[in-house]
Amino acid sequence: MNPLPLRRNSPQRIRRMADALTSTIAAIASPMGVGAISLIRISGPDALTIADLTCGGIASSSMPRLARRCKVRDKTGAVIDDGLLTVFHGPASFTGEDTVEFAGHGGILVTRETLSRFLECGAVHAAPGEFSQRAFSNGKLDLTQAEGIMDLISAQTRLAIRAAHSQLEGTLGKRTTEARDEILEILANLEAWIDFPDEDIDPQTAIQLRERIHGILATIDSLLSTADQGRVLREGVRTVIFGEPNVGKSSLLNRLLGFDRAIVSDIAGTTRDTIEEIINLHGIPLRLVDTAGVRESSDLIESQGIQRTVRQIENADLLLEIADASQARPERAVYPSNHATHLLILNKSDLGEHPSWSDSDAIRISCLKSDGFDALSEKIREALHFTEADFGEHAVAINARHQASLALARTNLTAALDLLTEENSDPELAAIDLREALDALGEIPGKVDTEDLLGVIFSNFCIGK
């Protein structure tokens, strides 16, 4: 059974937060597995003391940010590993605390033994994202920058890297903070009128306040417009390859990937389930989904595969319908209605084209001869309208959390604006809406009490980050 949530500012919660800030944490910060080098990070008030106990006392005497060779020894004095130790004194460190990083040999066992030695000397194992959460708690970065770290780690294209760097540099946090500061000034003016009810609101001042709210709404709308870009950069364009059996769907997938991922056979109905892979096309991540051929079938397993195809089509961002150019054009569409961008691809063009396709605006390719793929790539790029030029000079791509907070702030600001536009309206009601908009915007960079939110965000980080 999960424990009951702690009340805000309860003694248990305060004690838990205090314990988290006074402990010294350690974790492996490099990927698990065999490599040339591994990295172990220690952060907290006793970081230097723990490093001294394991490395012969050199940590406390080391110059900050200067790597020194050292040997990590167990309690008997035997050498566990030989590597480089770097000290970062707080607050001039990533976490804002005293931090030590040990770069050693990249074997799985030796890395674990080294970490175990640090834990034995007083450190506690870091939770996922705890280093980044401490950086947030110590004012080294806001929540949007912390999320930018994960976006950078998981980026699969150049555009995704660019957007992550922009967020890591604080672009989104700065814009939302500026909007929040603007709301604070409007709220201060409005509450002054509330405190002095005998004073009438100056009509000119009221107009200026409404104009300022319109300006904030424009900023919010510009950020909300990047939601689709953010989803694409983080999740990829859901691209469904579909068509009748044996027209080359799996061959197209393999050609786009550059390796044989799906089984290719002349036997119709070979593909029974969906297959997903991601490629980078002109800086755009495409989440390719190969599907079962759509046809009438009495085979139970194949019928289930066809139903999955239909569901994939319904949820697609981009539809790549592939047909056999050498065969007559089907009399009816093989896909359900969908508002996604749709491209028709005629495969097997090397076998000649059936006259029924002569007036078709389709991309002609041959998976066997590898013909037409440059044209297909360009057509996909044009269809998506999503390039570096489209992305704009300042790469800001909000995620679902930002979108929800911005939408709530927009609703509250619109309500406040309507109240300020009406004659004889109660300014206190408008003030309530402005305060709620203030809180909604504050949740984006973490300017309000968001402990539960922090738990959700940082739990998705890898351990050691």
Segment 346-359, tens digit of pLDDT:
998 888 888 888 88
The domain ranges of the chain are 11-142, 159-226+397-446, 242-390
pLDDT mean over 444-455: 66
Spatial distance between the Cα atoms of 292 and 385, rounded to a whole number of angstroms: 28
Residue found by looking up tokens 């569409």 in the block: 333
% residues pLDDT > 90 (the chain):
34
pLDDT mean over 51-65: 94
Spatial distance between the Cα atoms of 465 and 127, rounded to a whole number of angstroms: 9
Rounded to the nearest angstrom, the gap between the alpha carbon of residue 278 and the centroid of all alpha carbons in its chain is 16
Segment 223-252, tens digit of pLDDT:
998 887 787 778 788 888 888 877 888 888
Domain 159-226+397-446 CATH class label: mainly alpha
The 3-state DSSP class for residue 78 equals: coil
Q: Which amino acid is at 228?
A: D
Spatial distance between the Cα atoms of 437 and 351, rounded to a whole number of angstroms: 62
pLDDT score of 334 = 57
Least confident of 41-50, 134-143, 195-204, 317-326: 195-204
Query: Which tops the pLDDT comparison, 167 or 386?
Result: 167
Contact in structure between 268 and 247 (CB atoms under 8 Å): no
Confidence of residue 208 (pLDDT cuts 50, 70, 90): confident
pLDDT score of 359 = 84
Confidence of residue 18 (pLDDT cuts 50, 70, 90): very low
Confidence of residue 10 (pLDDT cuts 50, 70, 90): very low
pLDDT score of 42 = 97
Q: Which amino acid is at 190?
A: L
Fold for the domain defined by 242-390: Rossmann fold (3.40.50)
pLDDT score of 48 = 96
6 pLDDT higher than 70 = no
Beta bridge partners of residue 86, listed in sequence order = 101
Spatial distance between the Cα atoms of 365 and 375, rounded to a whole number of angstroms: 9
Segment 94-145, tens digit of pLDDT:
999 999 999 999 999 999 999 999 999 999 999 998 999 999 999 999 989 9
Q: Which CATH number among 1.10.3720.10, 3.30.1360.120, 3.40.50.720, 3.40.225.10 corresponds to the domain 11-142?
A: 3.30.1360.120
Spatial distance between the Cα atoms of 335 and 311, rounded to a whole number of angstroms: 10
pLDDT score of 202 = 61
Closest CA to 221 of 446, 457, 396, 420: 396
Segment 356-373, tens digit of pLDDT:
888 888 899 898 888 998
Residue found by looking up tokens 């800086």 in the block: 283
Query: Which tops the pLDDT comparison, 395 or 266?
Result: 395
Top mean-pLDDT range of 61-70, 311-320, 440-449: 61-70
Helices (H) and strands (E) in the chain, counts: 16, 12
When the pLDDT of each residue in the chain is averaged and rounded to a whole number, the result is 81
Residues ≥6 apart with Cβ < 8 Å to 141: 132, 135, 170
Angle 275-278-284 (CA atoms, 0-180°, nearest 5)?
Answer: 140
